[in-house]
Amino acid sequence: MIKTYFFDATQGQLLHDVDLMRQDLFQHEDDLLWVDVFDFNEQELSYVARIFDFHYLAVEDCVQHSPRAKVDSYEKYYFFVLHALRYMEDSDEEITLEQLNVFINSNYVVTVHRRSLPTLGRMARECLNKKTRYLEKGPDMFLYHILDGFTDEYFPILDRIDQRVDELEDQLYEQPNKEITEEFLALKRTILALRRAILPQKRMFSGVSGRYAFQVSKESEPYYLDLVDHIERIADSLAGFRDLLDGVLETYYSTITARTNESIRVLTVISFIFMPLTFVTGFFGMNVPLPAQYSGWSTLAITLGLASATGIMFLIFKKKKWI
């Protein structure tokens, strides 16, 4: 499906569903066309690619899923691969990356994506209501609004992850079990997936002031610096969560090891206590004469002897603080 939104700078108005073959587009340098291609088929993507003369490698990247954000510079446009997030806590795969491909030129922005994205949906609704704030300030600000919307989606996810870490940490020490450990490992995989999504975008936009190839106007530069600050905060939070989980799991495994050693120590003490008892009963259990075996006192004497040996060994182990 192809949707178009055109800001006519001369008239100061916004039009939608414009014909891409019109010859009178881009009569003014501030005119801006947004073409949103979503839930597309091959014919729709090829049609748009022919009109704007997109390179076939960029078009190929739109079809294939790329887990890494990037930016490529072509002669007449820039090509971005970005990712929005879908967070579903109860699913097997909590984090899903939704790829957004963006072609950007001084007069047009073409967005290509498979599934609907809340940020683009909100922007499209405002454009349908003839609101021009996304298109009237140029393509660099349009891209900023997309990135800012994606970045804002991270913060509720980070808040929920923070809550889950606290909840799991409490449960881990109160009643450690296999399910909680698996939940910790799943949460760690989620954090790693978030880092893989955010760190490439941090590298892409951290060099706006002088080093980055994408043309950002002086008026837009503070917005991108603020965006980079948000991305760095997210990256730092994810690094903190990762270190916290590593520390908690390390402490948990140390606790389990200590409990195992304690159990082994107790079992070893019990084995030592029963060792002489087993020897005596085993020795006299053979067909050998037993002193005073025809007297009832012999059974009592052997029982008292075994009990005394057990008590003495118990006191020795207690004194050495082995139990």
How many structural domains are present in the chain?
A: 3
- Domain containing 290 equals 265-319
**Domain CATH code at residue 118:** 3.30.460.20
Pairing of strands 32-38, 108-113: parallel
Residues 22, 40: one domain? yes
- pLDDT value for 290: 62
DSSP state of 111: E
pLDDT of residue 296: 62
| 248 three-state secondary structure | helix
Angle, CA of 71, 75 and 77, to the nearest 5°: 50
Task: Kindly state whether residue 136 falls inside one of the protein's structural domains.
Answer: no
Of 225, 241, 264, the domain-final residue: 264
Same domain, 126 and 189: no
Whether residue 174 sits in one domain with residue 85: no
Pair (68, 32) in one structural domain = yes
pLDDT value at residue 37: 92
Residues 179 and 207 in one domain: yes
DSSP E strands in 190-270: the ranges are none
227: CATH: 1.20.58.340
Domain boundary at 218, 236, 264, which? Answer: 264
DSSP string, 152-201: HTHHHHHHHHHHHHHHHHHHHHHS--HHHHHHHHHHHHHHHHHHHHHHHH
Give the separation between CA 165 and CA 183, rounded to whole angstroms: 10
Give the whole-angstrom CA distance, residue 106 versus residue 140. 8
User: Is residue 145 situated within a structural domain?
Assistant: no
If 0-12 CB within 10 Å is exposed, 13-18 middle and 19+ buried, where does residue 82 land? buried
Task: Assess whether 20 and 125 both reside in one domain.
Answer: yes
**Euclidean distance between CA atoms 314 and 318, whole angstroms:** 6
Residue at 144 is within a domain: no
- The 8-class DSSP code of residue 314 comes to H
> Which pLDDT score is estimated for 210?
46
If asked whether residues 5 and 125 sit together in one domain, one would say yes
Answer whether residue 139 is part of any domain: no
- For residues 119 and 18, state if they share a domain: yes
Looking at the structure, tell me whether residues 3 and 113 fall in a common domain: yes
Q: Does residue 289 lie within any of the structural domains? A: yes
- Give the C-alpha separation, 321 to 269, whole Å: 11
Beta strand spans in the chain (E): 2-8, 13-16, 32-38, 70-73, 78-87, 95-104, 108-113
- Within this chain, do residues 120 and 35 fall inside the same structural domain, yes or no? yes
The rounded distance, in Å, linking the Cα atoms of 74 and 55 is: 8
CA distances from 243 to 73, 236, 251, 305 (A): 36, 11, 12, 58
Q: Indicate if 222 and 295 belong to the same structural domain.
A: no
Residue 138 lies in a domain: no
Regarding whether 15 and 74 lie in a shared domain, the answer is yes
- Cα 275 to Cα 14, 287, 306, 323: the distances in Å are 92, 21, 11, 17
306: Cβ–Cβ under 8 A, 6 or more apart, which residues?
276, 277, 280, 281
The backbone torsions φ and ψ at residue 145, rounded to the nearest 5 degrees and listed phi first, read -60, -35
Rounded CA gap, 266 and 188, in Å? 35
Last residue of a domain, one of 72, 101, 131: 131
Residue type, 74: Y
309 domain residue, yes or no: yes
Written as six digits, the tokens of 204 are: 């892409």
Are residues 141 and 220 in contact, defined by beta-carbon separation less than 8 angstroms? Answer: yes
Amino acid letter, residue 79? F
- pLDDT per residue, tens digit, the chain (323 aa), is 889 888 887 787 888 888 887 767 777 788 889 999 988 888 999 999 999 999 999 999 998 888 788 888 888 899 999 988 887 777 667 778 889 999 998 889 999 998 888 899 888 888 888 787 888 888 888 998 998 898 888 888 888 888 888 887 777 766 666 667 777 778 888 888 888 888 887 777 765 444 555 677 788 888 888 888 888 888 888 888 888 888 777 777 777 777 777 777 777 777 777 777 776 666 666 566 666 566 666 667 777 777 777 777 777 767 766 66
